[in-house]
């Protein structure tokens, strides 16, 4: 076997593989030998049909089978020989297989770019000081109250007001014709949130139960629901109920009823503060790493393999679809187009792939490897965050073939921690960094 490689671009190569005529003949002879044993051809006893007769009956099938066999045997050896490993399915270009002649085929494939990352140590990077105030604790406490509240229909006859939950029936019309799928008999609108359309909040405010207001709304061309995107829609509505959220008082009895390991209000506040500090530290750490990685990426020019970018975009869409399924919905039900989502996610996917390649290369240059102990610690941390049993987590990842993906993620984190350890970290008060960034954007504009 002879192998050569042609670089079509920094991320695309063509491998040419030539298999000599002797090997081709051996494979064809072996294939026809197997067929001769089984073939039932009129006028010939089993195993006695001449080669020419077999070729006339099975020539095309044998050529296809042997071609696949030769490629499957030679291609892995070829990529090892030239150290060019495909990221996706290669595109094959092959000549017809013939007895007594060499067999030549080529494989065009995308590969990881070869590059070197420079000047990534001792970089200056800014970090916010984690800050949790009493107001943050009280805000979270109020959220807990609301989560444990209950919606109650108002008894008094009064108009809709801020923070009410309005239950409506509606149907959408365009040019007097009803829009397919734009209809509901039990839609809840939280006033003051503008989550459906600002016009709904504006028109419903001040209405009463039983009112049937008409609402005209214009939707942006890039609205997430294609049934509404770019359209002027008239909604025929009816207010069927008005509800308000009744929340419990924060007492020791309320705290005990939450089922947590705390028995009084002060204990709950302490637990809230502890959790908020952990969240704040995690946020600060993630933003620090993002800033550092962005700084390194700005000084590194790489051509990105399209197959990796497309796979990252598809993975992002699937994660979104998975979250919707867990909530009992779907992309289609939410009016989301899979292809449009992929296009919208392309810039973020390109950024993610570039960062992944850079971290992988730095790990290689610094000889950073993931040990079995690192993997075990990764499982422990994951178990703590999710509250799941560690053995159950291991079985979950193993059963779905996701252990390698987890290892890649943990190696990235280990590399990021190494970069932070070798950076010059400058601490800033909370809010200073966002103010500085805003000032820079003002100068640019």
Q: Which domain holds residue 415?
A: 272-444
Q: Looking at residue 38, which CATH number applies to its domain?
A: 3.30.70.1050
Domain-located, residue 379: yes
Q: What is the pLDDT of residue 445?
A: 34
Q: Looking at residue 386, which CATH number applies to its domain?
A: 1.10.3120.10
pLDDT per residue as tens digits for the range 29-59: 898 888 888 777 887 777 778 888 888 888 8
Are 242 and 276 within one domain? no
Do 149 and 123 contact (CB within 8 A), yes or no? Answer: no
Burial 136-173, CB ≥16 within 10 A → b, else e: bbeebeeebeeeeeeeeeeeeeeebeeebbbbbebebe
Are 289 and 434 within one domain? yes
DSSP letters, 155-177, are: -S-----TT-EEEEEEEEEETTE
pLDDT per residue as tens digits for the range 191-222: 988 878 889 999 999 999 999 999 999 988 87
Are 304 and 239 within one domain? no
Are 333 and 426 within one domain? yes
Domain-located, residue 256: no
Q: How do 177-190 and 124-128 pair as beta strands?
A: unpaired
Mean of pLDDT values over 167-177: 93
Domain-located, residue 202: yes
Domain-located, residue 141: no
Are 164 and 225 within one domain? yes
> How many CB atoms sit inside 10 A of residue 6's CB?
11
> Shortest CA distance to 370 belongs to which of 383, 360, 380, 355?
360
Domain-located, residue 368: yes
Are 328 and 285 within one domain? yes
pLDDT per residue as tens digits for the range 87-125: 988 999 998 898 899 999 999 999 999 999 999 999 999
State what percent of residues in the chain have pLDDT above 70.
Answer: 97
Domain-located, residue 126: no
Q: Looking at residue 219, which CATH number applies to its domain?
A: 3.10.50.40
Are 220 and 358 within one domain? no
Domain-located, residue 125: no
Q: What is the pLDDT of residue 11?
A: 93
Are 429 and 306 within one domain? yes
Are 289 and 430 within one domain? yes
pLDDT per residue as tens digits for the range 311-330: 999 999 998 888 888 877 78
Instruction: Count how many domains the chain has.
Output: 3
Are 7 and 156 within one domain? no
Are 289 and 392 within one domain? yes
> Shortest CA distance to 51 belongs to which of 69, 21, 28?
28
């Amino acid at each position: 076997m002879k192998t050569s490689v042609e670089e079509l671009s920094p991320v695309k190569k063509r491998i040419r593989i030539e298999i000599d005529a002797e090997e081709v003949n051996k494979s064809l002879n072996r294939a026809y030998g197997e067929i001769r044993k089984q073939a039932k051809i009129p006028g010939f006893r089993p195993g006695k049909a001449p080669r020419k007769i077999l070729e006339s009956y099975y020539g095309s099938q044998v050529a296809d089978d042997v071609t696949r066999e030769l490629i499957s045997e030679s291609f892995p050896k070829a990529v090892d020989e030239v150290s060019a490993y495909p990221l996706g399915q290669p595109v094959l270009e092959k000549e017809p297989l013939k007895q007594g002649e060499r067999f030549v085929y080529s494989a065009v494939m995308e590969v990881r770019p070869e590059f070197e990352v420079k000047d990534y140590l001792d970089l200056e990077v800014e970090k916010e000081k984690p800050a949790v105030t009493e107001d943050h604790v009280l805000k979270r406490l109020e959220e807990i109250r609301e989560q444990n509240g209950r919606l109650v229909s108002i008894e008094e006859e009064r108009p809709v007001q801020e923070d009410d939950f309005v239950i409506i029936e509606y149907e959408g019309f365009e040019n007097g014709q009803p829009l397919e799928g734009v209809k509901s008999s039990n839609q809840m609108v939280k006033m003051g949130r503008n989550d459906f359309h600002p016009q709904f909040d504006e028109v419903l405010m001040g209405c009463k139960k039983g009112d049937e207001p008409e609402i005209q709304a214009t939707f942006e061309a890039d609205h997430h629901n294609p049934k509404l995107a770019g359209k002027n829609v008239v909604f025929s509505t009816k207010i069927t109920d008005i509800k308000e959220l009744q929340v419990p008082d924060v007492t020791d009895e309320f705290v005990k009823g939450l089922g947590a390991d705390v028995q009084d209000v002060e204990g709950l506040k302490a637990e809230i503060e502890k959790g908020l500090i952990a969240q704040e530290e995690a946020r600060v750490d993630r933003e620090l790493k993002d800033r550092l990685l962005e700084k390194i990426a700005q000084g590194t020019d790489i051509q990105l393999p399209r197959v990796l970018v497309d796979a990252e975009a598809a993975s992002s869409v699937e994660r979104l679809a998975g979250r919707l399924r867990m909530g009992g919905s779907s992309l289609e039900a939410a009016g989301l187009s899979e292809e449009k989502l992929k296009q919208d996610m392309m810039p973020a996917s390109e950024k993610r792939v570039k960062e992944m390649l850079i971290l992988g290369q730095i790990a290689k240059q610094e000889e950073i490897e993931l040990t079995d102990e690192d993997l075990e610690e990764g499982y422990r941390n994951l178990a703590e965050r999710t509250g799941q049993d560690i053995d159950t987590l291991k079985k979950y990842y193993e059963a779905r073939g996701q252990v390698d993906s987890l290892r890649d993620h943990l190696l990235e984190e280990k590399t990021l921690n190494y970069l932070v350890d070798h950076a010059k970290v400058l601490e800033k008060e909370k809010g200073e960094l966002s103010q500085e960034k805003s000032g820079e954007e003002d100068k640019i504009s």
